[in-house]
Amino acid sequence: MRTFYIIGFLILTAFDTLTQISFKFASIHAMPMTMDLEWLIRVFSHPWVYGAFIGYIGAFFTWMTLLKHAPIGPAFAAAHMELITISILSIWIFHEPMTLAKAFGAGFILLGVIFLAKDETKQEPTHVVKSPHP
């Protein structure tokens, strides 16, 4: 079951990251914002807008599947892992600076996921085999 969680959260992170990176690219290509028909055609003719839609739909279905099975505490913490991947990709793709605040934030997210996951494994009930006879 642990493999299911790891793979599921990696897929969720990938979809969320795709969504946010797609929005960044789409917003760059949407400029200048003129709020007319030509602008709407320009926005919706760019493939990154559809990357955002695909990312949202994929993240929604992945998240709903994970919520059926995963413990809620670690699930909510792990759902924010995309903030780390988006920051790393934004440094590489968009040449955004890695600030001390971003580095600390990423560290705190990782620590939160680790601590919540460890706490959850400590609370898992042990399986006791009952005797069929009283």
Q: What is the pLDDT of residues 3-38, one digit of tens each?
A: 888 888 889 999 999 999 999 998 888 888 888 898
Q: What is the pLDDT of residues 65-112, one digit of tens each?
A: 888 887 777 777 777 888 889 989 999 999 999 899 989 998 998 888
Structure tokens at 19: 């969504």
Write out the residue range of the structural domain in which residue 110 sits: 2-123
- What's 22's DSSP letter? H
Domain count within the chain: 1
Residue 56 lies in a domain: yes
Residue 25 lies in a domain: yes
Question: In this predicted structure, what is the pLDDT of residue 51?
Answer: 94
Structure tokens at 116: 């919540």
HEC string for 27-82 = HHHCCCCCCCHHHHHHHHCCHHHHHHHHHHHHHHHHHHHHHHHCCHHHHHHHCCCH
Calculate mean pLDDT across residues 114-119.
Answer: 75
Tell me if residue 110 falls in helix, strand or coil.
helix
Residue 133 lies in a domain: no
CB 113 within 8 A of CB 85: no
